[in-house]
Amino acid sequence: MKLDDALRSTGAVRTFTDQPVDDATLAAILDLARFAPSGGNRQAWRVIVLRDPDQRRRVRDHYLQSWHEYVGHVLAGVVPFSPLATPSERAAAATHLDDARALSRPDGFAETLDRVPVLLVVAADLGALAATDRDLERYQMVGGASVYPFVWSILLAAREFDLGGVMTTVATRDETALGATLHLPTTFAVAAVVALGHPHHRVSRLTRHPVSSFTTLDTFDGPVFDPPH
């Protein structure tokens, strides 16, 4: 597959066939993904492959609890877990938690997470991250630049084997309990849960905002960058 085709068609896949993914294929995907860039080439990622059915169900339960909170935000009309959410917006989301649980579907992605063909947890070594925004008085995000390119590379590499998948960060909401389940050292953080498999359906082209809608010249409020095509 050409790179531009892969970039334009690697969307989030949450429904899979029952066809298994063998260990050799998963190993090949991780072997390709490991070439992702990271700060200082410290490669701060660790991957946990979840196989044991009981362990998978435990991770699903952690995920599902956080998913209901996520849906509660949506029902309240609030961007889920927005760093800029006001106290009243947070309170409004909490009041919709029961409604979110009531909307839970037996065949939903969160409810069936334990049954996806491949289930990975990607953890980040906090001691290896150059988080240059560590001391700023705002939400911190820079450290993720040393881990999330690796996660994205997993999804791109999966395309080479006609697989699809999704990176989700919902489970980090319950990181303390999830970390205990995974025996995660306190110096590591859960970066993402990744599900992979043979997709039921794959879109050929994704819909995104045009470049001119998010790119300006010289300053944030500068003129729109929109050269002729």
10 Å CB burial of residue 4 (0-12, 13-18, 19+) is: exposed
Predicted local confidence at residue 153, as pLDDT: 98
Residue 149 has a pLDDT of: 98
pLDDT at 42: 97
The pLDDT score that the predictor gives to residue 5 is 86
User: Model-level pTM?
Assistant: 0.94
Left (φ > 0), alpha (ψ -120 to 50) or beta: where does 220 sit? alpha
What are the mean pLDDT values of the chain's consecutive 10-residue runs (229 residues total)? Answer: 86 94 98 97 98 97 96 96 95 95 94 98 97 95 97 96 96 94 97 97 83 95 90
Report pLDDT for 2.
85
**CATH code, 3-213:** 3.40.109.10
What whole-number distance in Å separates Cα of residue 223 and Cα of residue 214? 11
Q: How far apart are CA 228 and CA 226, in angstroms?
A: 7
Condensed to tens digits (0 to 9), the pLDDT of residues 1-59 reads 788 888 888 999 999 999 999 999 999 999 999 999 999 999 999 999 999 999 999 99
- Say if residues 118 and 196 touch (Cβ distance below 8 Å): yes
